[in-house]
Structure 1
Amino acid sequence: MNRLMALLLALCSVLLGLLVIAYAAGGGRAAPLPHPEFGPMQVGIDAGELGAPVWAAYVAGIVMLGTMWVTMLIGFRAGHWIHRAVSAWTVGYVLVFVILMWSFGAYVAGDTTIVLGFTAPTSLLVYGLSLAPWIPLIGITWKFEDAYFGREDQARFDEIVSEAKSRRHSPLSGED
């Protein structure tokens, strides 16, 4: 558990470092710009105007996925199959994220590919990054009790409760 907390602290420190660097570099723009052709309309922020290098997006995304991985492991017994399953799922999720970033770069360069009714980056967001968290959520929910508080833990808990009740009701304890 201490290793997980140390890893979580390290990941949060990296995110904080990225925020400090972005603030110091003046990256990002808070307000939309007027549309170049239709003055009353506003134009949102596009990829080229954020002022952040592409590597920062990769680092931030992977660190956030690492944070999600660590928080999903907290509380589960070491060596349980959920540890391996969540780790394998996280590797897959990082791959989907990297593919998303790569396809977005291709989309920005003008290579538009339609996948399942959307452009490739949107399709990866809709069908990959937004649906994928349900896989470990369902698995963890299904096996939560066994992974977090197993049969041996329940037997030990029942034994402690039984001992506490017998001590409380014994004639030597002075209680009724």
Structure 2
Amino acid sequence: MTRLMAVLLALCAALLGLLLVAAATGAGRATPLPHAEHAPMLVGVDAGELGAPTWAAYVAGIAMLGTMWVAMLIGFREGHWIRRAVNAWMVGYVLLFVVLMWSFDAYAAGHTTIILGFTAPTSLLVYGLTLAPWVPLAAITWAFENAYFGPREQIRFDEIVAESRGSGDSDATRGGEG
């Protein structure tokens, strides 16, 4: 657990560092431009003109996915199948993120591919990164009690309760109301 908390702290520090660098350098302060053919319509800032380098997007994305990874592992017993399943799923999810970033780079360079009615980056975002978290959510929900609080933990909990009741140090024996 201590190792997971150290990784979580390091990932949060990386995200905080990126945020501070972005704020100090003024990244993201660009404004939309008028559309070339339809003057009242504005065109959003595109092609990396937000002031942040591409590597920052990779670092931020990987750090956020790492944070999600660690958060999903907290509390599950070492060696339990759900823990191995979360690890395997997250490796795939990180790869999906990298493919999304590569497809966006291709899209920004003018190579447009339509997949399931959307451009490749949008399709990966909608059908991949958006729907994929439901897989571990369903597995964790289904197996939570056994993976997190199993029979061994129940026995230990019952022992702790029995010890606390047997110690004679309750509010009733001290004459307090609570």
Structure 2 residue identity aligned to 1:80:
H
Query: Which piece of structure 1 moves more, 55-64 or 42-51?
Result: 42-51
Determine whether 1:97 maps to 2:93: no
SS at 1:47 equivalent = coil
1:6 to partner: Cα distance: 1.0
Measured against aligned partners, the alpha-carbon deviations of 1:67-88 in whole angstroms (never above 9, x if no partner) come to: 0001111122222222211111
Distance 1:33 1:148 in 2: 52
Q: Check 1:133–1:167 CA distance in 2 against 1; reply closer, same or farther (3 A cut).
A: same
Identity fraction in percent: 73
How many Å separate the matches in 2 of 1:167 and 1:67? 41
* Structure 1 position 26, deviation (Å): 2.0
Give 1:42's aligned residue.
42
Q: Are the aligned partners of 2:48 and 2:54 in contact in 1 as well (CA < 8 Å)? A: no
- How many aligned positions are there? 171
Amino acid at match of 1:47: A
* C-alpha contact 2:112 2:120 (8 A) present in aligned 1: yes
Separation in structure 1 between the aligned mates of residue 124 and residue 135 of structure 2, nearest angstrom: 16
- TM-score between the two structures when normalised by the length of structure 1: 0.87
Q: Structure 2 vs 1, CA of residues 167 and 61 (structure 1 numbering), >3 Å: closer, same or farther?
A: closer
Structure 1 gap ranges (5+): none
Structure 2 counterparts to residues 3-152 of structure 1, below 5 A: 3-29=3-29, 31-152=31-152
Matched residue type, 1:9: L
Partner Cα separation in structure 1 for residue 116 and residue 71 of structure 2: 32
**Unaligned stretches of 5+ in structure 2?**
none
Alpha-carbon spacing, 1:99–1:162, altered in 2? closer, same or farther (3 Å): same
- CA deviation vs aligned residue, 1:48-94 (integer Å, no higher than 9, x gap): 31121111111111111000001111122222222211111111001
RMSD of the alignment, in Å?
2.1
Which piece of structure 1 moves more, 101-110 or 37-46? Answer: 37-46
Superposition TM-score, scaled by structure 2 size: 0.86
CA contact (8 A) 2:82 2:147 kept: yes
Between stretches 150-159 and 9-18, larger displacement belongs to 150-159
Secondary structure of 1:9's counterpart equals: helix
> Counterpart of 2:44 in structure 1: which amino acid?
G
CA deviations 1:92-150 (Å, max 9, x no partner) are 00100000111111111111111122111111111110011011101111110111110
Question: For residues 114 and 160 of structure 1, do their structure 2 counterparts lie closer, same or farther at Cα, with a shift above 3 Å needed?
Answer: same
Cα deviation code 1:126-176 (max 9, x no counterpart):
1110011011101111110111110111122234434555676xxxx8x9x
Query: d(CA) in 2 for partners of 1:33 and 1:111?
Result: 23
